[in-house]
């Protein structure tokens, strides 16, 4: 009888002690540009956001787009142009531009467009933060 209890106890401890192994596989971050129709739609969305009446709404809309993974070169450039034209507050501009620069799919075309317009930012701290983010993204 003791032997049966010992075997049952060992089996129970083995099953309970084994536990579960969970493997979390994260999908790869794809920088595949969207289709032509999707790019045109995103440009129209950027333009529509630019027509919103409140700065905060434009800021949030532009930032949501800047964080998307499927932005093509031309969409990134258009977003940068819209950010400078439609956002009046430096903090809003900087926040959207940093979101775009920190996007793993930030392209060299977007970088060129941003660097060409960097002098349109009024504060040296904003320029420095963006340049640091670009440098960090390249590392």
Kindly list the domain boundaries of the chain, sorted by start residue.
Answer: 31-138
Rounded Cα distance, 42 and 59, in Å: 16
Average pLDDT over every residue of 70-76:
94
Helices (H), 34-117: 36-50, 55-66, 73-86, 90-101, 108-117
* Residue given tokens 């963006």 in the structure block: 130
Q: What was the pLDDT predicted at 25?
A: 46
User: Residue 53 pLDDT > 90, yes or no?
Assistant: yes
Q: Given this model, what pLDDT does residue 1 score? A: 66
Portion of the chain with pLDDT greater than 90, in percent:
68
Residues 6+ apart with CB under 8 A from 38: 70
Q: Which residue has the higher pLDDT, 121 or 10?
A: 121
Quick one: tokens of 67? 């964080």
101 contact partners, CB below 8 Å, separation of at least 6 = 111, 114, 130, 133, 134, 137
What is the pLDDT, as a whole number, of residue 31? 77
Residue 92 has pLDDT above 50, yes or no: yes
């Amino acid at each position: 009888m003791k032997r049966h209890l010992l075997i049952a106890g060992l089996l129970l401890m083995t099953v309970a002690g084994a536990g579960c192994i969970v493997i979390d596989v994260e999908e790869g971050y794809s920088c595949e540009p969207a289709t032509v129709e999707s790019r045109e739609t995103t440009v129209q969305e950027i333009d529509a956001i630019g027509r919103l009446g409140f700065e905060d709404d434009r800021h949030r809309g532009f930032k949501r787009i800047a964080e998307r993974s499927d932005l093509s070169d031309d969409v990134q450039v258009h977003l940068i142009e819209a950010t400078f034209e439609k956002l009046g507050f430096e903090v809003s501009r900087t926040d959207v531009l940093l979101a775009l620069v920190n996007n793993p799919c930030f392209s060299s075309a977007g970088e060129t467009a941003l660097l060409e317009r960097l002098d349109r930012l009024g504060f040296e701290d904003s320029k420095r933060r963006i340049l640091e983010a670009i440098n960090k993204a390249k590392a």
